[in-house]
Copies of this chain bind each other. A is one copy, B any other.
Amino acid sequence: MTLITPDPLVLINYKTYLEATGKKSVELSRTIEKIGRDIGVNVAVAPQFCDIVHVAAQVEIPIFAQHVDPVLPGASTGHVLADSVKAAGASGTLLNHSEKLLRLADLERAVSLVRELGLTSVVCAGNAHSASAVAMLHPDMVAIEPPELIGSGRAVSKEQPEVVTQSVKEIRRVNSDVKILCGAGVSTGDDVYASLRLGAQGVLVASALVKSTHPDTVITDFCNAVRRFEEDKG
């Protein structure tokens, strides 16, 4: 288990893509780790539950589950126990992704439960209102992902920059600590750069990288954009 370190973060969600299932999840994670290390950018991956053990055995970058259920150990057949993903080697989890939405009460419970286990929580939200509501639950990170842009190839930082700036503003009004990730449609280094310039501390990406025929090129592009932003900023 590796603790999440300094900003910015490039977090890659493997979803249930066959391109990142089973052994392929391990290969992809190795590629991402290597390039992140070479360029000097924080990267992390979110493989499927069954693949966490494999990936954790092969890379040292942080591993996130894609979801955990708001249940304690016990009689919860078929549920994803936070203790279980932790034992498998995850250091955190996504929660409330638009493809796995949670009831507010369950989300509150899951964030709290994940915190108690020392896991990092990344809670997704589709707009500024939801994002600021999420921020009141004090997760470690909030990821802003307008559902209509997810997988569209049209980046929220380009198509709806006001959603990002408005979310950042509303979140910061009530929570100064939470990291803000920008997701949905992030496809190029320019999208990554734009996200950081709009006030995000990282990006959450999926299809543009996982479904690419050259994921190494894509992650290189993303990481270079992060470095460029850091240098321009400094």
- CB-nearest residue of chain B relative to A57? B53
Interface size of A in residues (CB-CB distance below 8 Å): 67
Copies in the complex: 4
- CB-nearest residue of chain B relative to A131? B136
Q: Which of B66, B71, B126 contacts A105 (CB 8 A)?
A: B126
Contacts of A135 in B (CB 8 A): 136
Contacts of A99 in B (CB 8 A): 75-79
> Cα distance A181–B175 when bound, in Å?
25
Q: Which one of A48, A67, A174 has the highest number of Cβ atoms from chain B below 10 Å of its Cβ?
A: A48
Instruction: Say yes or no for A6: interface residue by CB 8 A criterion.
Output: no
Instruction: Say yes or no for A81: interface residue by CB 8 A criterion.
Output: yes
Given A15-B77, A21-B73: A105 in contact with B100 (beta carbons within 8 A): no
Contacts of A132 in B (CB 8 A): 136
Contacts of A76 in B (CB 8 A): 15-16, 99-100
Q: Which of B15, B53, B129 contacts A136 (CB 8 A)?
A: B129
Q: Are B101 and A50 in contact (CB under 8 A)?
A: no
**Given A51-B53, A77-B99, 10 new contacts (CB under 8 A):** A15-B74, A22-B83, A49-B80, A50-B84, A50-B88, A66-B77, A75-B207, A112-B129, A129-B138, A133-B136
